[in-house]
Amino acid sequence: MTMEKIRPAIIGILIFALMICGCGSAKVTDKDDEKEAAPAAAVAAQRIDDGRTVVGISMPDRLLERWNRDGIFLKNEFKKADCEVVLSYANNLIDTQIADIREMIAKGADLLVVTAVDGAALSPVLEEASSMGIKIIAYDRLIMETDAVDYYVSFDNYKVGVLQGSYVISKLGLKTSDKPKTIEFVTGDPVDNNARFFYRGAMDTLKPYIESGKLIVPSSQSGFYETSTAQWSTDIAQQRLQIILNSYYPNGAQLDAVLCANDSTALGAARALAADYTGRNNVVVTGQDGDVANIYNILNGSQSMTVYKQLKQESVVTVALGKDIISGNSPSESLIEQSGWDFECSFNTTDYNNGKKVVPSYLLRPIAITADNIQKELFDTGLYVRNSSGLIYAAK
Ligand code: BGC
């Protein structure tokens, strides 16, 4: 273990010792917090000489295919780098995620990789971790309202929305058509900071057409909150769109597009359209992630596109970054040059302000997938495979 690593650990132990003696200024608000804090401090003492590198990976839920894959990729990549890994899933519950992180601290974590259930709910536990010298990477979703987060690794979230909006413009021929087209919005979870970026990217792209009257929103629901989907739930997305279809699209009235922020909401939209849409056209439905169920829907025409994000790239960057920061460095642009990755990655120090600081970010490039390029981009590259019975699975 390097001196850079030992020093903050010692400082952390001193602060914790003071807190436990009641001499510190940190508030312990309830009994549970007291119970959890004590073992964390005790195990932190062992961090100095145990010679291990422990990485805690806290994922939001198992409901979405992508977080399962992220968890596996991250775990394997960190293990290859000789780290011990503690991986947990929070069932989309804030309290569970806080308890998971406390357990990681207690197990001697040197690094936390966290995808927040609620971007603004983790400050106290992460500040505790940071004061002990534990490094923190916000994975995919920015962690808000705290100085404790060291870095952010994600895809270019604004670009995701731009790709969805641009697809709608080209598919509906908005640049050339004089006939107004109709659209509805199904956006993401309001406590996930990414959802705002996706929304802004799509809205900034579509706004000129909405303002000029080429694109109409018959439900009048186009704001972020009124179109949001709690927990990115397929069921909630489906119910909301069914209500919209039954209220604003009676008797064959035409809906041209549903801009869905991701694949779980797109599944809900496809189900709502199958159940309650009375028009005769094929409605454009956007998505994001490339979940297998949605790949089938793109092939059968019930979803028009998805924005694909190669999760393995995200874990490769996270592991390289994690290794660098736990050995005491402060990586920047040069990490990208040194690593020689065969994919695009940019270093951003301006756009991801979490309310307390601009978090240095490594951003990857998402790509739009449609029925036209799915074979070339996803199957020919071996990212997805069809087995001998024709079933599709994600291979990488
Ligand atoms: C991720 C998306 C995902 C969504 C729902 C977002 O933060 O960037 O890839 O679809 O969460 O879990």
Beta bridge partners of 58: 88, 114
- Mean pLDDT score, 258-287: 98
pLDDT at 23 over 90: no
Q: Which atom of ligand 1 is nearest to the CA of 67?
A: 12
Determine if residue 289 is left, alpha or beta; phi over 0 gives left, psi from -120 to 50 gives alpha, anything else beta.
left
Measured in Å, residue 193 CA sits from the centre of ligand 1 at: 10
Measured in Å, residue 194 CA sits from the centre of ligand 1 at: 7
Confidence label for 50 from pLDDT (cuts 50, 70 and 90): confident
Question: H helices within the chain, ranges in order?
Answer: 3-20, 31-47, 65-80, 94-106, 123-131, 157-171, 193-211, 234-248, 263-276, 292-300, 311-326, 334-339, 374
Between CA 338 and CA 332 the distance in angstroms is 11
- Mean pLDDT score, 19-32: 32
Is 0.85 surpassed by the pTM of this model? yes
CA-nearest residue, atom 5 of ligand 1: 232
Q: Which residues contact 345 (CB under 8 A, 6 or more apart)?
A: 313, 317, 336, 362, 363, 364, 365
Ligand 1: residues with CB < 6 A are 64, 66, 140-141, 192, 194, 232, 262, 288-289
**pLDDT tens per residue across span 358-379:** 999 999 999 999 999 999 999 9
Q: Which residues contact 360 (CB under 8 A, 6 or more apart)?
A: 150, 151, 152, 332, 347, 348, 349
Measured in Å, residue 115 CA sits from the centre of ligand 1 at: 10
Q: Which atom of ligand 1 is nearest to the CA of 115?
A: 7
In the numeric block, the tokens 């519950």 are attached to: 93
Measured in Å, residue 140 CA sits from the centre of ligand 1 at: 8
Amino acid (one-letter) located at 224: F
Q: Which atom of ligand 1 is nearest to the CA of 141?
A: 7
**pLDDT tens per residue across span 89-122:** 999 999 999 999 999 999 999 999 999 999 999 9
In the numeric block, the tokens 């920047």 are attached to: 332
**pLDDT at 3 (0 to 100):** 41
Q: Which atom of ligand 1 is nearest to the CA of 157?
A: 8
CA-nearest residue, atom 10 of ligand 1: 262
**pLDDT tens per residue across span 295-331:** 999 999 999 999 999 999 999 999 999 999 999 999 9
Burial class (CB in 10 A: 0-12, 13-18, 19+), 393: exposed
- Mean pLDDT score, 137-143: 98
Measured in Å, residue 188 CA sits from the centre of ligand 1 at: 8
Computed over every residue of the chain, the mean pLDDT equals 90
For the chain, the distance separating the N- and C-terminal CA atoms, rounded to the nearest angstrom, is 33
Measured in Å, residue 336 CA sits from the centre of ligand 1 at: 24
Confidence label for 70 from pLDDT (cuts 50, 70 and 90): very high
Measured in Å, residue 116 CA sits from the centre of ligand 1 at: 11
Q: Which atom of ligand 1 is nearest to the CA of 193?
A: 7
**pLDDT at 48 (0 to 100):** 55
Q: Which atom of ligand 1 is nearest to the CA of 160?
A: 8
